[in-house]
Chain A
């Protein structure tokens, strides 16, 4: 690939979307997202909102676990921090919702940085276990810091309003959550075009040689934790607004496992993977519900097994993908794309 005028063309070669086709597809995608509310019913919009919230949290976790190689089982708890911050601000200061969401993310970032401190001493599995510990401690705080969190009773949150419209239902909330998700995905994608993203991947692939090559491990590990928690905080804040109430049960360890599963199923170290994983893992329970409803036609109280079946399926997905498709749905997608030569996104 010898190119005439290097300056311009190398810049173009470094772009997020490198070809005109890719730009075109991105445009089509945005247009589809913008048009969707006008054709879909509330149920579908509800699903998209839920998917979006999950995609944000999964993207954050992917930055930390998929790209930086630091396994975390604390993502749901960080979401909780964002959610409680938003709830508290909403109920006590009445500050506008964008401020609340940002504040929630920032507070979550701070907590994430603290929870990331063990990563300076330990790595891999030890770290995963340290994040479980952090998660338990946060849940304990949610339960017991009554004056702020209202304990196990939880807190109610008024829906945010913009331009005099309450973003109460999925058809309006959509316009908040989907753009935020798109922006956050673009930001994360940008990160991996720069030295910071490369430093993350280097830490994942071979931390000690990264350090010898000039990567300051503590700095970048903590940065990754911070970013991941920021995304969790944003997702948690949106969650609080979307569901209108939160309690300590909203962010259990199981949800962290769910998010980790989404990262694995979607594809570790791939933005496309975060999206696909977020979509897939949100839709699986829905599909299961249909399946069980269908079973209910032949079977008494089939609905009772819904929750355990979901648990089994989540587990099987984690195991199955790790065994048979460790690069996740993103890799399957890539294979399909190679087959059809269609899709715009670079991996």
Chain B
């Protein structure tokens, strides 16, 4: 059974058709990449999966279950984790608290216990702290900044904290929106390694939006190409890369040289 099935989803804002009968299947245990020119509707698709946008038509199935009617928090509670294209960390909190927040859906502490910090509150807080230290901080190599306010961190680290926050939830499906955008080569390589590790060690299914073609070709098992809200191609990375329609879609956009470079997989930062 596939982990995520987006079934004929259509979404429009006023006149703009952000998604037009889009169907995407994300197989369990793999990395599926979603690519396409700017404004193709990739983030909108993520938002439809997260529950932030309500599609006008179509269904979203998670592990076989129709979740179209569920609200965002309920979907998160099922195990859909996410990072955001424009970093959406909670700027007033430390790294540790941001990551702990990711574990929110796994904990149950109620108000009364929280106020007195007794019983469940104490138990759960200690427990998630340990888990985060052990599973997330060590893994992503951010234990040295746990007490830093996130707002002061450099961009690359912020992206990593976002990943940490998503992992703290122990997701079953992880949506990554442009995880390496704006990073330098070294940071990109680190991030690619983390993503592969998440897939292999944690067994998390990943759906990833990425403009960096090199990275997409390297790590993904399956690629979907979106253009003007429609899926124009899908398949193994090699096949998709060679698909003339895909090249056309990219060439059709304004900034040809950068896109050509992207297609060839050269790093933008380089």
* Chain A residues in the interface with B (C-beta under 8 A): 1, 6-7, 10-11, 13-14, 16, 187-188, 190-191, 193-199, 201-202, 204-206, 208-217, 223, 227, 269
Contact = CB atoms under 8 A, between A and B. Distances in A.
B116 A196 contact: no
B93 interface: yes
B52 A205 contact: no
A7 B88 CA distance: 31
B82 A201 contact: no
Contact of A193 (B102, B117, B130, B146): B117
B84 interface: yes
A301 B173 CA distance: 73
6 contacts: A13-B129, A190-B115, A194-B121, A195-B107, A196-B109, A205-B90
B126 A209 contact: no
B133 A209 contact: no
Given A199-B104, A217-B73, 12 more contacts: A1-B146, A187-B115, A193-B125, A195-B103, A196-B114, A201-B90, A204-B92, A210-B101, A212-B52, A213-B76, A213-B101, A214-B73
A13 B125 CA distance: 11
Contacts of B146: 1
Interface in B45-91: 50-52, 71-73, 76-77, 81-82, 84, 88-91
Interface residues of B, number: 44
- List of 3 A-B pairs having minimum Cβ-Cβ separation, nearest first: A214-B76, A214-B105, A209-B88
Interface centre among B102, B109, B126 (most CB of A within 10 A): B126
A187 B130 contact: no
A194 B109 CA distance: 8
A7 B104 contact: no
A143 B109 CA distance: 41
Give the interface SS of chain A, mostly helix, strand, loop or mixed: helix
B109 A195 contact: yes
Contacts of A213: 76, 81-82, 101-102, 104-105, 165, 169
B104 A195 contact: yes
A212 B50 contact: yes
A194 B101 contact: no
A208 B130 contact: no
Given A190-B115, A205-B92, A213-B104, A10 B126 contact: yes
B100 interface: yes
Given A197-B114, A210-B90, A215 B104 contact: yes
Nearest to B84: A209
Given A13-B129, A14-B125, A213-B169, A198 B97 contact: yes
B84 A196 contact: no
Contact of A211 (B72, B90, B100, B143): B72
A306 to B, nearest CB: 38
Contact of B101 (A187, A190, A202, A227): A202
Contacts of B109: 194-196
Contacts of A194: 109, 114, 117, 121, 124-125
A199 B101 contact: yes
A6 B92 contact: no
Contacts of A187: 115-116
B111 interface: yes
B126 A14 contact: yes
Contacts of A204: 92
Contact of B52 (A14, A201, A208, A215): A208
B115 A269 contact: no
Contacts of A198: 93, 97, 100-101, 104
Contact of A223 (B77, B111, B169): B111
A227 B146 CA distance: 29
Nearest to B128: A195
A214 B169 contact: yes
Interface in B118-171: 121-122, 124-126, 129-130, 133-134, 143, 146, 165, 169
